Every structure is written in structure tokens, then in C-alpha cells.
A and B are shown apart, each in its own frame.
Chain A
Amino acid sequence: MAEDLVLDSAIRDWVLIPLSLVMVLIGILRHFVTKLMRSSQPPDIKILKENQVVMRARNLRTCANLIPAKSFRSRRVYFSNEENGLLYVPKGQAQNPQAQMLTDPNMATDMMKKNLSMIIPQTLTFAWVNFFFSGFVAAKIPFPLTQRFRSMLQNGIDLSTVDVSYVSSRSWYFLNLFGLRGLFSLILGEENALDDTQRMMQMGGFGFDPTKSNVTDIMACPIPSEEKLIT
């Protein structure tokens, strides 16, 4: 069980290096394709205005004690009165951003475009790797690992006797797929289209409604007393 496998140097020359190279090239290609497909949609006046209102309200909230109390009160009414306040959203009318996303076809196509540019090359390369390089060991990592890593490193070879530090070709593909982000940010700059983490962050922010939290904040904001004003 412990005997060393001898890896043919042809495997290195014809599998390991080409596979990594292809992954990098595909990543770069994908970057440019997404860049091409990204539609520079004109900013929507409603969203733009909303953002500006929120920004101004936030300023008001943080610097409330820097202006006279009278001015602050009039602004607070302007933002949050119940008739036509800019930030006032009647109860129940507040649109769920997820529902909003479904109704907005533009957003949906945009998402689809992004996803397509992710999925298509990924399935193609996966099929390609599966077809040509499946089922053999392509590399060995220089340190021992526990059995838990077997499914990660030896995807595609069902041999329980091989030492875990050997990496199968399909696993090498996966390692490249997830591990090249650092390289891409070096090659393509920080703002590359391939950064999945950022997209995740955006997804995480979906349930959050900035307007709502601002209304409550402003309402809760104490009226600054005259003493608080910088004297």
C-alpha cells in the first residue's frame, strides 16, 4: 500500500501543465466575454433618486447635532412625515426586492447572461477533462493528508488503496477552478468579472431594504438639544 507510484513525466507534460494552462486561458476568455456582454444599462431615475435620498438621510442622521434643532426638525419632517415624506413607505406597500427582481425583466436577463457565461464554459471544460483525462493520477502533493481529503483530491478514481496525497486529473481540474482566483486578480486586476465572492456578497444583501431602516433610524434619532451643538 505504501509503495510509491511513479508518475510518467509525459503526464506532467501532457496533462498537468496543459490542464492548468487551459483553465487560465478559459478564465481570461470568460473575463472578456462577460465584459462584452455586460450591458451598460442607463441608470434608472427612480433607483438613482432613491440612493441619493438615502445618502442624504444618512448624512442627516450622523451629523444631526451639527445643525440647529429647528433645521433638523424641519428636515426630519421632510423625510419621514406620513403624507408625502421622501422616506415614508406605507405599511404593506413596501415592495419586496426579490419580487421586484422577478417583475423586472431587465434584471433577470442580466442575471441569466452572467450565469450563462459562467455555466457554459464550465460544463464544456468539465466534459473535455472527463473525456480526455479521466481516471488517472496526475500529480502528487508533497505532504500527507488524511482520508477525508480523498473525495476532494481523488475524484474519478475509486481506489481506496492509493495514498491520499496523489491528485487525480479531475480533481486537479476542480482545484484549478476554485483556486485560480488569486492568479486572475493578478492578471486581470482587482475588478475582474470572475470574482465569485463579490457576487455572493451581493446575493447576501438582497433581503435588506435600506429605505426602511433609514425611516426607523430617523424617527428614532433624538432631537439634538442646544447644548449638544458645538459651542
Chain B
Amino acid sequence: MVGFAEEGELNRLESQVDNGGGGAWEYLSLVRKLKVRRSEKVLKHGLSILNDPKSRSKLGPDEWTLYEQVAIAAMDCHKLDIAKDCVQTLSKRFPGSTRIGKLEGMWLEAKGSWAEAEKAYSRLLEDNPLDPIIHKRRVAVAKAQGNVSGAIELLNKYLEVFMADHDAWRELAEIYVSLQMYKQSAFCYEELILGQPSVPLYHIAYAEVLYTLGGLENLNTAKKYYASTIELSGGKNTRALFGICLCSTAISQLTKGRNREERESTDLQSLAATALLKEYKQKAPAKLPSLSSVLKSIKLPF
């Protein structure tokens, strides 16, 4: 994740490079280090370095890293011919390398020749069957083809071995949500919360899956996770505030006859509602009437 200070530095460098102030290589290195996706800029500035033999030779061995970075950026921008040039230069320099093999596979992917890409990846997997990136690329190929069940199968197989890989769990969770397989998705989100307990995004995603599943127990749990999201994000998550209101309404509808726990839930609910109202008053006063009508429609006191 990109920290606040790092992002400031990145933006400063970017504007400096954009205005012709130099420092392109530093900018590209920072992009690489922070793993941010600014492909257009990377392509523009990377190419300007690569096309200038003098500044290119100044890089020394880092030249090849830059080729790789530009190749990926070019694929992202669908500049396939540039990507091809870069990949070819690299494969001429490093024949038989796995890393370049991956790039070739990605180029085939970008071109849309799925079968060939798949073939390239399986050939790479024969040599080193435990390369996580190749496995992930195969999942991406399956997903890009619309073969969602295939992607799930591949991801499950991958997670059997690499079961501490958060990104894979997250991908799987999102795929399950897209297929409305909420129970499976909830499991994945639990796994994510276990792995990185302080990321509010996982808490809110889990809460939403639980809310969608419905049922009294799930709704109660969902409310707790909305609450923990608010706590983790320092009270800033509007979505979670709405979530609490909706959960409370749904719970009170389910427990209409029974008069238990009602007290506590209305407390939280009205708190969330006041927080929402306050936030809207501060940031979007024009939308305030519509918010109050929404809150009224779900029978909230405010």
C-alpha cells in the first residue's frame, strides 16, 4: 500500500517530469517501487529515455529493467507494437529466461490470443511449477476469456498451496460475489480479515456479503463488522454508516414481535444517522434533503 508521504513524493516527481524538469528515471524507479499503475506516464517517459541512446546507456544494467517496465506499461495502454519491440529486445538479450517468458505470455494475452498465451504459460510452468506469478497469469487468462468457473478452479488449486496469499483470496472473494456465491465469498473475506486484520476494506466487504446473505444472525454480525469498519477508518466511512442504518432496519423488521435487544440497536442506529447527517451537512449540503427522506423511508428517528 502506498503511504501518504510516498504518494506526495510521487506526485511531486510526476509534475516535475511532466514539466520537463528532469528526474524521469527517479520517477520511474519510484513507480516501480510503489507498484502503482500509471502506465501512460510510464510509457511516455520510459520511451523518451529508451529512445535516447545516451541516457539509455547511462542506466547501465538497469536498462533492462526499464525495458520490462515500459513493455508492461505499453501492454496496459494497448500499444502492442511498442510492447513487442521491448519484449523482443529483452528476449534477444536474455534467451530462455523465465521472466522474459512471462512477458511474452503477457504480450500474447494483450493481443488476445488466449490459447497461445495459455500454451506459453503451461510451458513455463513445466520448468518451475511453483512460480506464483505464472499461476496468477493463468487465472487472469481464464477470467479474461469469461471462463469464470475455470478461474475459480485454478485459484482454488493455487490457494491449496499458497494459502497465505492475500491477493489471491481477495480475487477469489470478488469472483464469488460476482457469481452470487455469497457463502464462499464470506469464507474468503474471513480469511482476508485474519490475514490483514487492520484493513477496513475487508471488514466492510465482509459485512456487505453477510448483509446480502440475510438472516438474523448474519445481519447482527454484519452490523458488527460495519461498526468495526467505522472504527478502523476513524469514523470516515460513509458506506459503513449507511450499512449500519440498513442493518438495523432489517433487524428490527425481523424481530418485530420479539422485544429484545431493540434498545441497543436503536442507539447505534441513531448514532450512525446523526453522523451521516453531520457529514452531509459539511460536505454536500445540497443532498441533505434527499438523505433525510431516505432515512425517513427506513424509519429512522433523527
Contacts and interface: CB of A to CB of B under 8 A. Distances in A.
Contact of B194 (A48, A66, A229): A66
Interface in B198-231: 221, 224, 227-228, 231
Given A66-B197, A71-B187, A56 B161 contact: no
Interface string B177-208: 00000000001001101110100000000000
A94 interface: no
Interface in A18-77: 42-43, 45, 48-49, 52-53, 55-56, 59-60, 63, 66-68, 71, 75
A230 interface: yes
Nearest to B218: A68
A48 B224 contact: no
B128 interface: yes
9 contacts: A42-B128, A43-B130, A52-B164, A56-B163, A56-B194, A56-B195, A59-B195, A67-B190, A68-B190
Nearest to A59: B194
Nearest to B210: A68
A197 interface: no
Contacts of B165: 52
Interface residues on A, range: 20 to 34
Nearest to B161: A49
| Closest 9 pairs between A and B when the two form their complex, measured CB to CB | A55-B164, A230-B228, A59-B194, A52-B164, A63-B197, A67-B190, A63-B194, A52-B163, A71-B190
A99 to B, nearest CB: 25
A48 B163 contact: no
A213 B244 CA distance: 40
A231 interface: yes
B162 interface: yes
A74 to B, nearest CB: 9
Contacts of A66: 193-194, 197
A52 B195 CA distance: 12
Contacts of B187: 71
B224 A230 contact: yes
Interface in A202-227: none
Contacts of A60: 194
Interface string B47-65: 0000000000000000000
Nearest to B128: A42
B69 to A, nearest CB: 24
Given A55-B164, A230-B231, A67 B193 contact: yes
Interface of B: 128-130, 160-165, 187, 190-191, 193-195, 197, 221, 224, 227-228, 231
A68 to B, nearest CB: 5
A124 B197 CA distance: 55
Contacts of B128: 42
A25 B277 CA distance: 72
Given A59-B194, A229-B224, A42 B163 contact: no
B227 A230 contact: yes
Nearest to A54: B164
Given A63-B197, A66-B194, A48 B161 contact: yes
Given A60-B194, A66-B193, A68-B221, 4 more contacts: A53-B163, A55-B164, A56-B163, A59-B195
A60 B228 CA distance: 18
A229 B165 CA distance: 25
A55 B191 CA distance: 12
Nearest to A64: B194
Contacts of B161: 45, 48-49, 52
Given A66-B193, A230-B228, A230-B231, A52 B162 contact: yes
A59 B227 contact: no
Contacts of A75: 190
Nearest to A74: B187
B80 to A, nearest CB: 33
A84 B16 CA distance: 59
A75 B194 CA distance: 11
A45 B197 contact: no
Nearest to A51: B164
A59 B224 contact: no
A231 B164 CA distance: 27
Contacts of A52: 161-165
Interface in A120-173: none
Nearest to A53: B163
Contacts of B221: 68, 229
A68 B225 CA distance: 10
A53 B165 CA distance: 11
B124 to A, nearest CB: 13
Nearest to B169: A56
Contacts of A48: 130, 161-162
A231 B190 contact: no
Contact of A231 (B129, B160, B227): B227
